[in-house]
Amino acid sequence: MSSPARILLGVSGGIAAYKACEVLRRLTEAGHDVRVVPTAAALRFVGSATWEALSGHPVTTEVFDDVAEVAHVRLGQTADLVIVAPATADLLARAAAGRADDLLAASLLVARCPVVMAPAMHTEMWDHPATRTNVATLRDRGVVVLDPAVGRLTGPDSGIGRLPDPAEIAATALSLLARPHAAPDLAGRHVVISAGGTREPLDPVRFLGNRSSGKQGYALARTAAARGAEVTVVSANVALADPAGVKVVRVGTTAELREAVLEAAGGADAVVMAAAVADFRPAQAAPSKIKKTDADPPPLALVRNPDVLAELSAQRRRPGQLVVGFAAETDRALEHGRAKLTAKGCDLLVVNEVGHDRVFGSELNSVTILAADGQRIDVPLAGKDAVAHAVWDAVAARLGDRAAPDH
């Protein structure tokens, strides 16, 4: 969306309400016009003066304020996107029931734009059958309800229920704005994504690795969640905030990545191998730090690592599962990519040219998507979220009417 979007930011009454200030800041800095609609309980955590100062708009909670403007209808009707962060158990219940007992609930009821909710609550509330039913109802209606993060809650408690990282909530919102009229075409699907780069130890302090930052893999995760998917990321040595609404499994070596991907892929509709996986590892890792001496070091003996992509392609974890590979090449990219597509047996292969100052760590990427059915899709230089959407477009087209597994 090239012009500034009209965004409605709902804030419900949880301790995480203060984190919505960061969501608001990132959206306004991106050039969008944001109206904040808190619940009355939210104002007990963050006052209206803060929201008004940060958004530049007046704030109210009641449907009977500004009656002449019919705010309880107009705000939702005119929004290009609605975000609720945090979304408490109470707010989820009221939204699922179609209540209109305050300005935020009424606005949700009339909104016809994409809606994303970022829940935050105690673990017991999130796990309660009533909440799970409400979340399922909202998702069935096309609302993107992100899964909460795992971490420290209020007091001494920890567990699932923490608000996802505010920067990632904002990034998910901006990703949705890039596709304002698209349906959540991955709703009901489970996708597994590998991201980052594996490291193979030489000794307790050194390793063989690569330059992958994990940004493209995390963009794939973020955009899949924005399109309604249940997402598991197998993350190899990534120093980024967790994408909002996804499960992250952390690994280090290729062997660990293989184990985690194969386990997660058991019920997945699609597996996207975006990680830079080491082809080789040292034949032996020294038990203690290798010391520098006057003698030349001994030659480094390498052995092959398991070929995870080929294994996934040859032994699909469920009927109809799509497997997507990545090929990072430094020269003759398409030639090598076509050979890899045939050799690995995957459905799609995303090919890009990489180097010291290209792709790795960058915010931009350009790729060619090769398909086993002969299709070629060229994706010009763009942000990694845009590239991720192009990959999911190709995946969604091939998933088509294939039945989703029972998760």
Give the integer Cα–Cα distance in Å for 210 and 110.
Answer: 49
Rounded to a whole number of angstroms, the distance between the first and last alpha carbons of the chain is 34
Residues catalogued as catalytic: 210
User: Which of 77, 105, 107 lies closest to 93 in space, CA to CA?
Assistant: 105
* Bridge partners for 139 per DSSP: none
Give the integer Cα–Cα distance in Å for 82 and 141.
Answer: 14
3-state secondary structure 40-86: CCHHHCCCHHHHHHHHCCCCCCCCCCCHHHCHHHHHHHHCCEEEEEE
Give the integer Cα–Cα distance in Å for 157 and 326.
Answer: 40
Q: How many CB atoms lie within 10 A of CB 289?
A: 11
Cα dihedral 341, 344, 347, 349 sign: negative
Give the integer Cα–Cα distance in Å for 11 and 160.
Answer: 20
Classify burial at 296, counting beta carbons within 10 Å of its beta carbon; exposed 0-12, middle 13-18, buried 19 or more: exposed
Spatial contact of 318 and 268, defined as CB atoms under 8 Å apart:
yes
Give the integer Cα–Cα distance in Å for 131 and 95.
Answer: 11
Query: Which DSSP category does 246 fall into?
Result: -
Give the integer Cα–Cα distance in Å for 162 and 119.
Answer: 8
In one-letter notation, the amino acid at residue 195 is: A
Give the integer Cα–Cα distance in Å for 117 and 187.
Answer: 15
Q: Quickly tell me which residue has 């194969």 as its tokens.
A: 262
Close Cβ partners of 291 (under 8 Å, ≥ 6 residues apart): none
Give the integer Cα–Cα distance in Å for 344 and 315.
Answer: 11
User: Which of 219, 243, 143 lies closest to 187 in space, CA to CA?
Assistant: 143
